[in-house]
Each structure stands twice: as structure tokens, then as C-alpha cells.
Amino acid sequence: MQWSDDGIVLGVRRHGEAGAILELMTRLHGRHLGLVHGGRSARLQAVLQPGNSVHAVWRARLDEHLGNFTIEADELRAAGFLSSPLALYGIGAAANLLRLLPERDPHPALFESLGVLLEHLADRDLAPPLFVRFEIAVLAEFGFGLDIARCAVTGSHDDLTFVSPKTGRAVTAAVGEPYANRLLRLPRFLIGQAGGEGTPPEDIQAGFTLTEHFLRLHVFEPRGLPVPEERARFIALAAARDREQRF
């Protein structure tokens, strides 16, 4: 068995004296593990860092075997992440989410979403709203996509303000206002307004509150898992950025 694919490093662990078990998120083969001979060498250690993009060739005698990776560097982002705690916690939080997907189950759309996130993960303005979008993409891949393009009651695409915590469907301000204390707020950057510099801090927080609710409901709690600490640290650092800008 053999295939080649583009991949993003999610993690690596020691194997024997010189080898490493590499965990990749690949474009066409999903989250996939394999042995890298000599993976602890100085040359490969710099490549096998979370967040780096690589080209991988996987070989095994049988499909169900762990198999071996041969790795070529593509885009080495990890060195730039070392000076950004936001990026380090971000890649950790993203990897934790992806590890809940079945191994070797293809998710090409999620691979693309992860790539976009990584390109801006050290950007203190762009990373938080992009991470919210990434979490929404993860929910969709689990089969729990949010329906926030139109009002669940009127069908309108305008003035969408709230999301039902039960159905994940959006409603307009007029429909939702009487029940505002029981609904989740829909941040504007998710409904057509670009998220980036100038995105209100309350919108960023609303986005993370929205995704955390549905991640807890559909992903973490059914598996008996807490929300990963890396995610909480990422959100705290994003909030600290907003406080710095206000003072």
C-alpha cells in the first residue's frame, strides 16, 4: 500500500532511539499516523513541528498497519509560532479538536480551513475570528452544522441576531428579542462582515460562546471530555489583546 498527500503536522512523539510517530492532518486521507525513521534527527525535528506543512508519502504492507512516512518540508511555520503564545495555544487547541475525528476519515474542507487558520494564527486580529470559523467547520464535519444564513421562522436573511441553543438555527432580532435571555448571540463577522482588525471584542466573545455551547453539547460531553485547556488559554490571550487596545 502506498499513497502521497499534502499534510499539516498535528503532533509527534518519540519512538525508539531515533524514530518518531508523526500525526498529520492530510488533504485526502484525513488524520493519519505513521512512523518516521530518523524522525529525531536535527534535520527532521525542525520539520516535524506542529503547524508545519509537509508533503508525505505513506507506505505499509497492509492498509491497517501503522506504516511509514517519508516527509518533505513544504511550509515551515512553526518557528514563527515560537514567539507567539496565541499561535502555540491555537495549534494545540485545533489539534485537540481534530483528534476527535475518526482516524483516516477524509475531511478535505476541514484541511483547507485549518490551512487558512494557520496562515494567520500569529495575527492577533485575524486569528480569533478565524478560529471561531474553524470550530464551526469542525461542528459541520461532525454532522452538527449551524444554520445561520437565514431566519428559522421568517426565512429572512437580514438582521440575524440570535441562534437557538437547541437547533443551531438563526433568528432575526424581532423574532428573538422576547427570548433574548435564552438565546445565543450571533456575531456579525459570521454573517457577511469580515472578521479582522476592528472586530468588536464582544463579537469575538460571542463567537467563542456560540461554538463552545455546541462543541460541549455535541462533541465534548457525549465523550465525557472537558473543554481543552489550550482553547481556554487561546481565548484568554485573545481577550487580553482586546483589553490592551482599550487602555
Are both 124 and 211 inside the same structural domain? yes
pLDDT tens for the chain, 247 residues: list them.
999 999 999 999 999 889 999 999 999 999 999 999 999 998 899 999 999 999 999 999 998 899 999 999 999 999 999 999 999 999 999 999 999 999 999 999 999 999 999 999 999 999 999 999 999 999 999 999 999 999 999 999 999 999 999 999 999 999 999 999 999 999 999 987 544 556 889 999 999 999 999 999 999 999 999 999 999 999 999 988 655 554 3
Instruction: Please give the single-letter amino acid code of residue 207.
Output: G
Query: What range defines the domain where residue 188 resides?
Result: 84-246
Whether the pTM exceeds 0.85: the reply is yes
Question: What CATH number has the domain bearing residue 40?
Answer: 2.40.50.140
73 with 88, same domain: the answer is: no
Could you give the number of structural domains in the chain? Answer: 2
Q: Are residues 130 and 236 in the same domain?
A: yes
User: Residue 51: which of 32, 27, 31, 79 has the closest Cα?
Assistant: 79
- The secondary structure of residue 206, as a DSSP letter, is H
> Which set of grid coordinates corresponds to residue 37?
525513521
Asked if residue 238 lies in contact with residue 203, where contact means CB atoms within 8 angstroms, the answer is no
Do 153 and 202 share a domain, yes or no?
yes
Backbone angles phi, psi at 203, to 5 degrees: -70, -40
Cα–Cα distance, 40 to 38 (Å, whole number): 5
90 and 181 in a single domain? The answer is: yes
Regarding whether 182 and 162 lie in a shared domain, the answer is: yes
End-of-domain residue from the set 77, 112, 133: 77
| CATH at residue 185 | 1.20.1440.120
- Asked if 41 and 18 count as a contact pair (C-beta separation under 8 A), the reply is yes
